[in-house]
Amino acid sequence: MRLTKKRHSCVRLERDGAVLVIDPGAFSEEDAAVGADAVLITHEHPDHFEEGRVRAALAAGAEVWAPRSVAERLAPAYPGRVHTVGHGDTFTAAGLPVEVHGELHAVIHPDVPRITNVGFLVDGSVFHPGDALTVPERPVDTLMLPVQAPWSKISEVIDYVREVAPRLTIDIHDALLTDIARPIYDGHITNLGGAHHQRLTPGEGTEL
């Protein structure tokens, strides 16, 4: 399976000619979901779900799996191709088995209501948690790691890597980081996380 990093929290997974895209949001490329057979959305925040990009993918024939808050905005126009999912669900998208783990967005501030957020474990190996530090109920080979967000700090990110204990971490949720700050995050995660850490630039890919 080939993984291609797109901007911010968007990733593209390809195997046997099929394409699965996770979280094509407003910070990702305009064509991030182009050519997707399946699109997975972790939650409704615009940096993870840009409605126009997802509707374009649906118009081209893609299917979408998302929490109810997202699915209900898309389903009326695309009956049978927009699926509501929640914690514990399993399905097949773009030929890949997917498990859903997690229920709530991380706490931004006690005064900010928490929304639904799900994570997707693809092919039993690649986990994308969206905006939460969800620990799946099974081993993970490759963890898509939210490295910087208004709801996290680096010590929490490091402890999350330690708890999940993947073989590999790959950065996501990184659009708010400047280039000058990246080495600080890279160093702490590499030296303290306990897993091999890889940072891909947007458009760069790797074989898993």
In contact, 1 and 126? CB cutoff 8 Å: yes
Instruction: Give, in words, the CATH class of 2-207.
Output: alpha beta
Strand order through the sheet with 2-5: 82-84, 63-66, 38-40, 18-22, 11-15, 2-5, 205-207
Whose CA is closest to 146, among 102, 112, 97, 86? 102
Task: Give helix then strand counts, H and E, for the chain.
Answer: 4, 14
- Residue 118 and residue 67 in contact, taking contact as beta carbons nearer than 8 Å: yes
Tens digit of each residue's pLDDT, the chain (208 residues): 999 999 999 999 999 999 999 999 999 999 999 999 999 999 999 999 999 999 999 999 999 999 999 999 999 999 999 999 999 999 999 999 999 999 999 999 999 999 999 999 999 999 999 999 999 999 999 999 999 999 999 999 999 999 999 999 999 999 999 999 999 999 999 999 999 999 999 999 999 9
What does the domain layout of the chain look like in residue ranges?
2-207
The span from the CA of 143 to the CA of 127, in Å, is 5
